[in-house]
Structure 1
Amino acid sequence: MLNAWGWYVTYESDMERRPAFLDDKEPHPERKRFRLMEFRQPTEKLPLYQLVTPASGGAATPKVPWIEAQTSQAGLYDWFRVYLAADSQPVAENILAIFVQPVWPLPGQDTGADTTAAPNYLYDTRRYQWPESSGLAERSRHQLPPMVRLTLVALDERDWARLDSTGTDALAVQLRSLANTKVFTTSSQYEADVKRLETELVSLKLGFRVFSTAVQIPAAKLMSTREN
């Protein structure tokens, strides 16, 4: 039994998830916040291995699992994107961003990490289906990274509570730009990006904390497809 599970951050109102008797009047004003969302797709809805006919095949073409029939990055990622709204629930408020960085230990060294397998933080074990024949696709094919570094950026609720709806919307635009385009775009610049993020948040007069940890993945096999 398999099911999809993941996390992402969004900025949204809480109105759609409120019970009908709670309107946006006092003492329950609308709350617009950055929220950490958990995507939990039930097993019976997982489309990855449903048998389909490849787009390039005719009526007599044997059916293959849906994931094997995809030939582009956008097509591959449809399996979760189209279900996000229906199968996601908030697990925490005031989470500005979550960054996941695949890393490899450096041979013969006690510290440091190799980030070249995901130079822009994007790591996809089906990358070869985009299609792509680069070294990155070869290195990641059916291969879990041995370790991931997780970074979570949490904001101070008191700084949001003092703003009205218009104020939070305007600030959210700036913070989205910061998190999505200005930091954590190049893996080798991780430490510098953490400092830049902290500097930017201080300049916006926002309280925050940055949490970071490394998680080992014992199931990872440190070998390439060719070695198999």
Structure 2
Amino acid sequence: MSRRQHGWTFIEVMVSTAILVLLLVLMAEALNTTQHSWMTSRTAAGTQQNLDAANGIIGRQLQQATLQTRSGYDMNLNQIVPASDLHFVCGPAAELLPGLPGTCGDAVFFQRPAADTGSGLRQALQCCGFFVQYSGDEAWRPVFSNQIPVQRRFRLLQFHQTASEMTLFQSSGVNGTPPKLAQLTSRTDLYEWFSQPIGGGSSSYPSHVSVVAENVVAMFLQTTPAAQRCYDTRRQQWEPGSVTAAQTRHRLPEMVEVTLVLTDEASWARLNVEHADVLAGEVRSFIQGLSWLPDAMPQSLDALKQMMTAQGMSVRIAVFSVPMGD
């Protein structure tokens, strides 16, 4: 019997071990690549799902916005002008919702025809709106989830108020006078029909504020024709005599371009609450320091994306246009 039949030589063991290690390394790299691809696909799918939800809901409801404009007579101008009992306004969320913490970017509020299941009306006006806020998720969590850690995120929120809840047509109490909304000259008072129901807190929202999509960091709105970043169909009440007020008086914009800045869940899940709050504050401050007028929008978006990417955040920017009509 030869010596080789009694066992492996030292060199053979070393070669076999080296081959085995090489195979294990290759398998680990393949597994890591597969896992990374799966995580990337899952993250992209989650971001796309949020974008589809935002695009579908905002686009569909903005297209339904109405003013039901008619002809009216302005005693001060001594001429026929457009008239309406309704309201459309979009602009910086900090101006439209000054008492609400954590808002970011722009907001929009309007009326649209919709069914009111509470009152049984098949076709009634509904107040609607969209804004972005950074906050915890306490307002939308079931009672039994108190032991689950709070998730603080940027969220695209929807305001919806049925005809039976609307205060839009609140009377001034004097017979023969128009609704109170038509007599207001303060922007703060003029916006109370949506700012008061939304409230100033982030953990006690009423039932008419709901989440459209998570990880939407900001929403920016541009209107055609442009109106100094704030398009208000009742601008003539707080800025009488201005050219912009005359152009937008009870007229819907022709087009609204919606820009959404989105991140993914993985970018925030790696942060604890304290770090998430700090980063969110930095993002909000950075956004407030940029110009969001139409001419500066591309440069501002690039700067925001670079800033967030430098912080390790995945960023996606989506733009879509919504044609308006009444």
User: Which TM-score band applies after superposition, normalised by the shorter structure?
Assistant: 0.7 to 0.9
Which structure has the greater CA radius of gyration?
Answer: 2
Letter in 1 for 2:227: A
* 1:178 aligned partner, one-letter code: F
Residue 12 of structure 1, CA deviation: 1.1
What SS does structure 2 have at the residue aligned with 1:64?
Answer: coil
Report the alpha carbon displacement of residue 184 of structure 1 after superposing the two structures with TM.
4.6
Q: Are 1:147 and 2:270 matched, yes or no?
A: no
Q: 163, 171, 174: which is aligned to 2:271?
A: 163
What is the count of residue pairs matched by the alignment? 196
For 1:51, what is the secondary structure of its paired residue? coil
Which TM-score applies when normalising by structure 2? Answer: 0.57
Q: Secondary structure at the match of 2:233?
A: coil
Does residue 213 in structure 1 map to residue 323 in structure 2? no
**What is the aligned partner in structure 1 of residue 297 from structure 2?**
190
The percent of aligned pairs where both chains have the same amino acid is 33
Shift of 1:156: 1.7
SS class of match (1:151) = strand
Match of 1:4 in 2: 127
Q: Amino acid of the residue matched to residue 151 of structure 2?
A: R
Tell me if 1:37 matches 2:151. Answer: no
Aligned 8 A contact 1:124 1:140 in 2: yes
Compare 157-166 and 13-22 and name the one that shifted more.
Answer: 13-22
**1:94-173 residue pairs with structure 2 within 5 A?**
94-104=215-225, 117-119=226-228, 121-173=229-281
Higher share of residues assigned helix? 2
Answer yes or no: is the 8 Å Cα contact 1:3–1:43 preserved in 2. Answer: yes
- CA offset digits 1:55-104 (Å, max 9, x no partner): xxxxx664321211211111101110001132211121111011111024
Moved over 6 A (4+): none
**Contact 2:252–2:325 (CA<8 Å) still a contact in 1?**
no
> Secondary structure of the residue that 1:36 maps to in structure 2?
strand
Matched position secondary structure for 2:274? helix
Secondary structure class of the residue paired with 2:312? coil
The reply on whether 1:78 has 2:196 as its aligned counterpart is: no
Over the aligned positions, Cα root-mean-square deviation in angstroms equals 1.7
**Counterpart secondary structure, 2:132:** strand
Is 1:17 the counterpart of 2:140 in the alignment? yes
Whether the 8 Å contact between 1:72 and 1:131 is mirrored in structure 2 is no
Q: Equivalents in 2 of 1:124, 1:144: separation in Å?
A: 9
Unaligned runs of 5+ in 1: 54-59, 105-116, 220-228
